[in-house]
A and B are shown apart, each in its own frame.
Chain A
Amino acid sequence: MSAPEAELSADFAASSSSPAPVRALPRLPIAKALMALLIAGLCIVPFGLIFAISLGHKVEGAAWVWGFEGANYQRFFVGAMWPDEVSSMYLQKLGYSLYYAVIASVLAVLTAFPFTWFLTRLSRAAQARWLIFLLSTLSLSEVFVVMGWDILLSNKSGLPMVLRELGITDWAKGNGLFDWARSQGLASPRDFKFKTSVFATVLTMAYLVWPYAVILLYPPLSRIDQSMIEAARTMGATPARVMRTVILPTVRLPLIGAVLLLFVLLLGIYVAVSVFADPAQQTLAISIYDEVRGATLNAPFGAAQSVILLVTAGAFLLMGQLILNRRTT
């Protein structure tokens, strides 16, 4: 719910508060208690458990035991060999988590916006068909989507094959473009290659959340008052000027909201990064899984990284909320 809507409902609640409370009161405590139970059961207890584990102690060569130490948090910032050696590896991984999530969420919203805009201009039947199609693509799991892109980018049956068959690979070998691609890690001596690369990672991540972007932008765009656009056009504004001065300001808040939501969703993406990103460019989600499920059985350090990722996501949401609030006042 956007901020203006929230204000609206608050106003409504205030204006209708005098006659209503007698009937509403008895139900309220039960509903509140149920809500509190739900939040406690689904959020606070699991988070508390993860936080408690993150204070645990790793036994070298065995598993881990409960404890009360901050060593895992210290390791995140300076590495396990501190003070002999300082490592910012885990900060780098957090950096990549943010990097991919920002680029992919902005990319998804930027490309979904024109699509959704034209979608809302279609007939209602056509709109319904498109929305059903988009909703059904959400049933594809991350694993399935990544498998698909894995094949689409593979040497034998994907993009490198297309470039080879079209003669583009040979053409690029002649003019130095291919050597540049090799220096960028985008080619082997024989063919172009797009796995592993930032390109493939961001592409797949943006693809994964693209239907969400459309579904998030559809309601505000379809609610835009047609008469405002007509008025602007009548007064001589070009379509580009209408987009800039009428439509974009109207949907600015939903646009920022959509980017924020997709950003948080993408912070935890696992399969796409593990398949398409080089180890030098992998994210915290991979590192967490490696610790918890990998051979070291170091759940405490995995938990500490989870807590930091969660706090980071929370900080970004809070920042977004502050920006949104400032824009509305």
Chain B
Amino acid sequence: MTLTNRTITRRTILKTGAASALVSSYGMPLLAQDRSLKIGSYGGYFEDSFKKYVYPAFTEATGIAVESVTEPNSTDWLVTMQQGMAAGTVPADLSLFARDSMIKASRIGGLLKPLDLAAMPATEKFDPYFVFEDTTGKIGVGAMGWFTAMVVNPQEVDVPTSWADFWDTSKFEASLGLSKNFNSQFLDIVAATFFDGEATFATRDGIVALVEKAAEIKPNVALWWSAESQMEQGMKNTDIVGGQYYYDVAGLMKADGFPIEPVFPKEGNPQDYGSWCLAALSDKDAEAAEFINFSSLPSTQALMSRNIGTAPLLDTAMLDLTPEELAGVTGTPAIRPAYQAYLDEETFIKETWDKMLAQA
């Protein structure tokens, strides 16, 4: 079933391995064309959709052949890129990185090549937030977005209007599923709901206050999930009646008839996004520029939203998506995660969060 496939492989578990990497490189016919490009994306449903909808349209528009490469997830792919660099190979010319992994790659240094945005006119329409620049230049351009959203089982509970409702033990005792990872944006939700948003992450006292507020929700949490599939099963089996989950996947589950409602409460939901980044050892600058330009076109952003369920990074007014199609992939307001703090205070936040969970 595609849903399960997608939820497990897209962002979390390394499941595909070398075999599927091999299969995927055969997935696109390697035509005897002069120009080609190796592009990495998250394996499973996600990559399959790219091979089915996006790459053929790109090849048709530009004549550049695409060889698809499987990334298990951003963090593991970063390790693969590092090892590839050390061995002098290029695992993929263009890779998809979540923002935190991209900043990490930038800090490790020497892994990514600055992009020439003059060769990609379509990127001018992006909010500058989606073009990441470090000391070497612009190293990442936004590809697509996704939301971590509030979800509830509408058959069991009333749909809340605020994240604060989840702290109400009279309504949600031992009933919620939240992510166990310190950087899976629950702290950003706490910051947006009870504090000053990203600014609260600026000091260690602020971070401790966030974690202490998060600790107050513990009696209401029945499942601290580490893999998406746990949350999916928990909602399907009614072990839990609400929590934090991916907006697009929840929408797919709802479409399949499961009792789940993805919600945009008044504080909003955290938005994360993937960026296209060029490997430092790649010599396909020109082809990569053409692909990023293609990916940034309103028509391609709409194509991805429609067929892959990702949130568009352009102003929705530029897109030809229907209101229903838009509601299925995006919403407002969007909470922007405190990426910088998660990296600068990595060990501190992780251990403070883990201690809260371990009651140690």
Decide: A274 near B226, CB < 8 A? Known: A155-B239, A280-B358, A296-B347: yes
Question: Which residues of the other chain, B, contact A154 by a CB distance below 8 angstroms?
Answer: 233, 237, 239
In contact, A185 and B358 (Cβ under 8 angstroms): no
Within the complex, the shortest CB–CB distance from B166 to chain A, in Å, comes to 14
Q: Does B306 contact A (CB under 8 A)?
A: no
Interface membership of chain A positions 69-110, coded 1 if the CB is closer than 8 angstroms to chain B and 0 otherwise: 000000000011100000111001100000000000000000
Q: Does B238 contact A (CB under 8 A)?
A: yes
Interface membership of chain B positions 182-221, coded 1 if the CB is closer than 8 angstroms to chain A and 0 otherwise: 0100000000000000000000000000000000000000
Q: Does B115 contact A (CB under 8 A)?
A: no
Decide: A293 near B344, CB < 8 A? Known: A89-B354, A182-B173, A279-B357: no
Interface membership of chain A positions 55-78, coded 1 if the CB is closer than 8 angstroms to chain B and 0 otherwise: 000111111000000000000000
A interface, over-half SS:
loop
| Complex CA distance for A189 and B183, rounded to whole angstroms | 30
Question: What is the chain B residue whose CB lies nearest that of A64?
Answer: B108
In contact, A296 and B346 (Cβ under 8 angstroms): yes
In contact, B82 and A63 (Cβ under 8 angstroms): yes
Decide: A295 near B183, CB < 8 A? Known: A81-B351, A189-B175: yes
Q: Does B314 contact A (CB under 8 A)?
A: no
Q: Which positions 302-360 of chain B face chain A at CB distance < 8 Å?
A: 343-348, 350-351, 354-355, 357-360
Question: Which residues of the other chain, B, contact A295 by a CB distance below 8 angstroms?
Answer: 75, 100, 181, 183
Interface membership of chain A positions 262-278, coded 1 if the CB is closer than 8 angstroms to chain B and 0 otherwise: 00000000000011001
Question: What is the chain B residue whose CB lies nearest that of A282?
Answer: B358
Q: Does B57 contact A (CB under 8 A)?
A: no
Q: Does B174 contact A (CB under 8 A)?
A: yes
Q: Which positions 274-299 of chain A face chain B at CB distance < 8 Å?
A: 274-275, 278-280, 282, 293-298
In contact, B360 and A188 (Cβ under 8 angstroms): no
Question: Which residues of the other chain, A, contact B75 by a CB distance below 8 angstroms?
Answer: 293-295, 297
Question: What is the chain B residue whose CB lies nearest that of A274?
Answer: B226
Within the complex, the shortest CB–CB distance from A100 to chain B, in Å, comes to 15
Question: Which residues of the other chain, A, contact B239 by a CB distance below 8 angstroms?
Answer: 154-156, 193, 195
Question: Which residues of the other chain, B, contact A280 by a CB distance below 8 angstroms?
Answer: 357-359
In contact, B344 and A188 (Cβ under 8 angstroms): no
Question: Which residues of the other chain, A, contact B126 by a CB distance below 8 angstroms?
Answer: none
Q: Does A127 contact B (CB under 8 A)?
A: no
In contact, A80 and B351 (Cβ under 8 angstroms): yes
Question: Which residues of the other chain, B, contact A182 by a CB distance below 8 angstroms?
Answer: 173-174
Decide: A293 near B76, CB < 8 A? Known: A63-B82, A92-B358, A195-B223: yes
Q: Does A187 contact B (CB under 8 A)?
A: yes
| Complex CA distance for A22 and B360, rounded to whole angstroms | 64
Question: What is the chain B residue whose CB lies nearest that of A187?
Answer: B174
| Complex CA distance for A306 and B82, rounded to whole angstroms | 23
Q: Does B222 contact A (CB under 8 A)?
A: yes
In contact, A61 and B348 (Cβ under 8 angstroms): no
| Complex CA distance for A274 and B173, rounded to whole angstroms | 22
In contact, A275 and B183 (Cβ under 8 angstroms): no
In contact, B173 and A189 (Cβ under 8 angstroms): yes
Question: What is the chain A residue whose CB lies nearest that of B226?
Answer: A274
Within the complex, the shortest CB–CB distance from B355 to chain A, in Å, comes to 5
Within the complex, the shortest CB–CB distance from B270 to chain A, in Å, comes to 15
Question: Which residues of the other chain, A, contact B358 by a CB distance below 8 angstroms?
Answer: 89, 92-93, 279-280, 282
| Complex CA distance for A222 and B156, rounded to whole angstroms | 55
In contact, B343 and A60 (Cβ under 8 angstroms): yes
Interface membership of chain B positions 1-30, coded 1 if the CB is closer than 8 angstroms to chain A and 0 otherwise: 000000000000010000000000000000
Decide: A87 near B355, CB < 8 A? Known: A62-B104, A193-B174, A196-B222: yes
Q: Does B80 contact A (CB under 8 A)?
A: no
Question: Which residues of the other chain, B, contact A274 by a CB distance below 8 angstroms?
Answer: 226-227
Q: Does A238 contact B (CB under 8 A)?
A: no
| Complex CA distance for A63 and B85, rounded to whole angstroms | 15
| Complex CA distance for A83 and B14, rounded to whole angstroms | 37
Within the complex, the shortest CB–CB distance from A94 to chain B, in Å, comes to 12
Within the complex, the shortest CB–CB distance from B352 to chain A, in Å, comes to 8
Within the complex, the shortest CB–CB distance from B58 to chain A, in Å, comes to 31
| Complex CA distance for A296 and B345, rounded to whole angstroms | 11
Question: What is the chain A residue whose CB lies nearest that of B343?
Answer: A61
In contact, A294 and B181 (Cβ under 8 angstroms): yes
In contact, A297 and B359 (Cβ under 8 angstroms): no
In contact, A80 and B347 (Cβ under 8 angstroms): yes
| Complex CA distance for A60 and B75, rounded to whole angstroms | 15
Q: Which positions 231-289 of chain A face chain B at CB distance < 8 Å?
A: 274-275, 278-280, 282
Question: Which residues of the other chain, B, contact A59 by a CB distance below 8 angstroms?
Answer: 107-108
In contact, B108 and A63 (Cβ under 8 angstroms): yes
Q: Does B180 contact A (CB under 8 A)?
A: yes
| Complex CA distance for A294 and B183, rounded to whole angstroms | 10
Q: Which 7 A-B pairs have the closest CB atoms?
A: A61-B343, A89-B360, A279-B357, A154-B237, A62-B107, A188-B174, A156-B237
Can you list 17 A-B pairs, Cβ within 8 angstroms, ordered by A? A59-B107, A61-B344, A63-B104, A79-B355, A89-B360, A154-B237, A156-B239, A188-B174, A189-B174, A193-B222, A274-B226, A278-B224, A279-B180, A280-B359, A293-B14, A294-B181, A298-B347
For the complex with contacts A155-B238, A193-B222, A295-B181, 16 further pairs of A-B residues with Cβ separation under 8 Å are A60-B347, A63-B78, A63-B79, A89-B351, A89-B354, A89-B358, A155-B239, A187-B174, A188-B222, A195-B222, A196-B222, A196-B224, A293-B75, A296-B347, A297-B104, A298-B347
What residues of chain A have their CB less than 8 Å away from a CB belonging to chain B? 58-63, 79-81, 87-89, 92-93, 150-151, 154-158, 182, 185, 187-190, 193, 195-196, 274-275, 278-280, 282, 293-298
